[in-house]
Structure formats: structure tokens, C-alpha cells
Amino acid sequence: MNGPHTHFRAPADHFLNRELSLLAFNRRVLAQAADARVPLLERLRFLCIVSSNLDEFFEIRVAGLKEQIKLGGQSTGFDGMPPHDVFRRVTREAHALIAEQYSLLNQTILPALAAEGIRFFKRATWTPEQANWIRDFFFREVMPVLTPIGLDPAHPFPRVLNKSLNFAVELEGRDAFGRAGGAAIVQAPRALPRVIQLPKELTGVDWGFVFLSSILHRHVGELFAGMNILGCYQFRVTRNSDLWVDDEEVKNLRTALQGELPQRHFGDAVRLEVADNCSETMADFLLQQFGLESADLYRVPGIVNLVRLMSVPDRVERPDLKYAPFQPGLPKAITKRPQIFDVMRREDVLLHHPFQSFAPVIQMLEQAADDPNVVAIKMTVYRTGTDSVLLQHLVRAAQKGKEVTVVVELMARFDEEANLNIAARLEEVGAHVVYGVFGYKTHAKMLMVLRREEGGYRRYIHLGTGNYHPRTTRFYTDFGLLTCNEEIAADVNEVFKQLTGLGKAGALKHLWQAPFTLHDNMIAAIRAETAAAKAGGKGQITAKMNSLLEPEVIEALYEASQAGVQIDLMVRGVCALRPGVKGLSDNIRVRSVIGRFLEHHRIFHFHANGEDKVYLGSADWMERNFFRRIEVVFPVLEPRLKRRVLKEGLRLYLHDNSQSWDMDKDGQYAIHPSRRIRACAQEALLALMAAED
């Protein structure tokens, strides 16, 4: 099967709802913010991560639901729940989750921070000295960039940017032109900081902050001279941010995307957040302006954008309130030899981030750029960052005359603009930039260096489960494989040929590739375990991923369970499979690990009659990964490295009783019961591979 299963249908009660499962994941993240064992500033960071996750949830998932409802769609997901019902349940759960989030912030985290000398000063508590400093700041830094907009027939309601901070102001009186007051909108430019630090001598604490929203609220009258301010309310609107490009009409993906990106800020509204002091009249007025219903209104007791607090842990120099720093380790083979290609010729190297450094990958590209024997470099870019050191090495390689080919995924969600800039920079220096295959996101993580050596050319390969983004490698768990295995290198070369040229897909010896063989091979591997169990042998599957949604894989796992295959799944986020259902999935266990690092690697282990087949990749068990993306899943062939993956990536996590949540058949999660001896996979991996900073 080389396409999605449009006619596949299984009983609806076999599946859990995707949107509700995603909200359940955010509850587990919020639990980190509530956990007193987590350092205080890290708890604040987790609280902010929940807000960031929810923003994307509304921008993409809720926006999609609303679109379905608007178009009158009655189609359901595999769980059988109609869009209207999903939206009602999602709305109820989201309101409850956000209420808990603000309660935790106001009643627990902010008081605990204040006790540590980290205070956020509210308007009502400002001393005269603080008020004077803030007033000077307003007139010097804030007022010059504000443009108040009075609402009347000549000034319609302004276009409000997605997720921007705004104020709705109720006024009375008459202005210089005799116009009667009513309402006005004040938009806070994104250039202004949302959290401002006050001088220590004014606060009596080491770290005193005030919110931009408080400053604007106090001084909003300065923008409407002679008018009486009846009310001032901060608000924020979240909009549909999913980009859509018509594959039948588009002639140039890059040009089409450049035209589409600016509209992301002004998509259909899907959520309105207001401060809890907002009047009913103003709330109703705003809902009407944005075409929203009362269910879309979220009243919050505090600032309307908690993501803005994300900068505070980095700004506050209190290492005792943060996770202990560490220095990522290096494999011994790398430390012994300075030349990465010498190391790779001798042995395959497995890197386990963030416990081990990403530096060898950077080193590989850096040495390739400078090595006169290197003739070509090929690489995929999904997310890397515009200031990436990897980009600098690619640019330098192209400037030195190497054949540099980069497959840039322009449709990497929320990284489209950065990737457009990367593409332009590479083209400026003569690199070949291609955008993969239209209609399929290039999600595979591949780097290939072609080097002229005695006897011909040799290909050096890096394959990874995570992005080529040096910053995220410090807090995402991922595996990377450095190898010059000729058969794997030939497979990687074949995939690059597909991405840059035209022609039939050639057969691959080791890699499983989406959209061609990955789904079929994964199903076949599951069924092989089923057959082994039915024949009286041992059937065992252990897999780790971000999301599990694809129904045929789920049904194959159910069949395996019924045959007696023991299945352990570690799914960090969304999971539609129901574990532990009598007669259906008795032998399936699902857990989710949430901790200091974002669990990101995808690992697939099949017992295979004692052969222990182990695969790594960047593909989750989702329809999009199997059928709408270009993915590669690669085997770990070297026995020593295979044992490392089984230990570090799977077994330590299966024994985790500190950050592990067990899932039940209804999609509810409970923290894994802790035994007398505490086991934490991430801490164990830090102790095993990383050095203290």
C-alpha cells in the first residue's frame, strides 16, 4: 500500500480522540509545573510551555474543527465523534485546564517566587518611587510607539495581529473634534518587552519585575487627553495559522509561500482571551468583532499571554532554582581522534542527545567544508534556525567550490519564514537548493558527505531522529548515527536522488522510506511478531515515539496483543490506542515520560526470534508520517550500538517510576507508582554520559 487508507474502517470504540489526547498531554506538562520536586524557575517554564502548546493547539487543531463545523462537515475521525461533539468536549476541557494553570500560577508559583526575592509588582502595590520610575519609562519607551485607535465610522475596528497584546478602552466625553467617546483599541507593538525589570534599589528584592500590561493600564489615560476612562481591558486573539497552498494552482512553492505567510497573522479568529475584569459589554463587543461565540471566550486572572514569562527563568540568575547545568559527553572514539572521517572509517558512532554532544555532527560539516578531498555535501533541512552554525559551514563549503545541495522544507510549520531565509542565503553563494517533492514534507534527517579517497569515492552519513538544530539538541532527546556503511550510504544517496531529480523510486536495502515502504514494513514487522507468538514462540514489541494515531498500525497491534505478543509503548504525546482492554489489548501497556528534556526520539524494537531488530527514525506512527511525508527509518546494525539503544532508549524508560505516566483504556493517565528505589531515566542517562558543567 502506497497511499492512505481511505476505505479503512475499524470499530470506533477501538480509538481515542486525538484532540482530547493532546489536551491530556498538556495536563501532564502542567503537572511538572505543580511538582514541588522540580526547581522553582523550571516550574514557571513548564507553565509557560503549556501556554505555548495551547496556542498551537488553538491555531491548528481547534481552527481545523471550526472549519469542519463551518463547512457543515459530519465526517468523524476514527473515534467516531462528530466535529460538534469534539469541539464541545475540547472547549470544556481547555477551559478547565487554563483555570488550573492560572490557579497554580497565582496561588503557588508567584508566591513561591516572591519568597525567593523574585517579585512581579501589581499596580496596586507600587510605591511612589516605583510609580515615578514606571511613569518615566512609559513616556520614554512606550508612548512614542503607541497608536491609539478610536472606534467610529471613520475608524473601523483595526486588524488585530494573531496572539498580539491589545487593550480595549471604554471612554466617555467629547474630544477636540466634538466626537463622543465610546471605545478605542490600543495595540502593544511587538517591539516592546512584555516583562520589564525594575531597579533593585526601588524594589528591595534582587529581581523585581512589572508587566507591560500593568504599565499601559496605569497610563492609558495619557493617550486620550481630556476623556474619562471607564475601563481598560487587555485582550488577545488567537487565529487560524495553518497555511494552505493549492497544489493544482501553484507554479512556484517559494513564491506562493511568501505570499501566504503574511496572512497567517490575520486568519479567522478561534479564541479570545480577556482579563477577568473585562466588562460583559466589552467582552460581547469583542466577540462580535471577531465572529466568535461565548464558548470561545477565555477569562483569565492575570496577563493574557503567559508565554511572555518564558524569558524570566533565563534572566534571573538563580542557579539554585534551576536544573543543574551539565556538559554533554563525547564518545571515546571521537575524543581519541580529531578527524571525524578517520573515526567513521573505523567504526559507526551513536550519539545520544542531549546527554552526548551534537558537536560531532557540526564537526563533520565543518571538516567537510575545509577538506580538499570532499567534493560534495547533501543535507535535508527541516528546522535548524537562521543563525545556525551548520548553515555557516554549508555556506563556507559552497564558497570553497564544493557541490552543496540542500533540501529545504519550506512547509515546516512556524519555521517557514526562517527556512525561506536559509534558502535565499544558500542560493546567494551558489548552493543547489531544492524543496523536495510538492505535497510531501521532507521530514527525514539526513546528511551525506562525498569524499575522494584511495580507490574511489566514499560516502559519510549522518542519520538522526531529530532536527539539525544545535539549540534544541540541548533539551530534546534524540539519537544520531554516524556511519560510512556502504549499503546504508547507497540507500541515502538513492533518497537524495528522489528529492532532487525525477524518476522511479529505487529499491532500498536497509532504509524504510515513507511514503513507499515504511507503512508496509512496519505492519509486516508487527505481524511477524504476531506469527511468532501464534507459533508458540516469543513475540515482543517495544516502541517509543511522540504520537500514535495511525489506525491500521493500531489494529495490527491489537491483533498482536490477542496473539500473546507483549507490547510496551512509550508515547510522549497523543495516543489513540486503548491499552488494557479485555480481549482486545490485554498485552499492551502505554506510558508517557515527561521530564526535564523533551522526549523526541523514535525507536522501534522487534524481538524477531531473538535477532532484536532495532530501528530509529523521525517518523511517528501517524498517517501524515506514513503517507504525506518523506521519512526514513534506519536500522542499527552494529551489535554494540544496538545494545546501547535498547538500554538507553528503551529499558531505562520502562523502569522509570519518577517521570512516567501510565495510560488506561479511557485515555486517562496516572503517575507511575514509585517503588522504594526511585528510578529516573533522564537522570540516569545524565549520570551515565554527561559531565557536570
Starting at the edge strand that comes first in sequence, how are the strands of the sheet with 207-211 ordered?
Answer: 118-120, 207-211, 195-198
SS3 63: helix
Amino acid (1-letter code) at residue 569: L
- As a 3-state breakdown, the chain gives helix, strand, coil percent values, each rounded to 5, of 40, 25, 35
CB of 579 closer than 8 Å to CB of 588: yes
CB of 53 closer than 8 Å to CB of 310: no
Residue 574 to residue 23: CA distance in whole angstroms? 9
Tell how strand 669-671 and strand 228-239 pair up. Answer: unpaired
Grid cell in block for residue 692: 557536570
SS3 442: strand
CB of 393 closer than 8 Å to CB of 422: no
**Closest Cα partner for 34 from 82, 85, 103, 131?**
103
- The region that residue 497 occupies, defined by phi over 0 for left and psi between -120 and 50 for alpha, beta otherwise, is alpha
Residue 421 to residue 282: CA distance in whole angstroms? 41
Inter-residue long-range contacts of 135-142, CB under 8 Å, 24+ positions, other chains counted:
135/219, 137/196, 137/215, 138/215, 138/216, 138/218, 138/219, 138/222, 139/222, 141/192, 142/192, 142/212, 142/215, 142/216, 142/219
CB of 563 closer than 8 Å to CB of 534: yes
Grid cell in block for residue 376: 560534495
**Closest Cα partner for 559 from 589, 518, 588?**
588
CB of 461 closer than 8 Å to CB of 467: no
**Closest Cα partner for 379 from 459, 281, 280?**
459
Grid cell in block for residue 542: 517495544
Name the residue with cell 508566591: 111
- Catalytic pick from 352, 443, 601, 605? 443
Active site residue 443: yes
Residue 569 to residue 592: CA distance in whole angstroms? 9
**Closest Cα partner for 602 from 587, 593, 615?**
615
Grid cell in block for residue 48: 509557560
- DSSP conformation letters of 343-400: HHHH--EEEEETTB-SHHHHHHHHHHHH-TTEEEEEEEESS--TT-HHHHHHHHHHHT
Residue 83 to residue 65: CA distance in whole angstroms? 6
CB of 466 closer than 8 Å to CB of 472: yes
Instruction: State the catalytic residues.
Output: 443
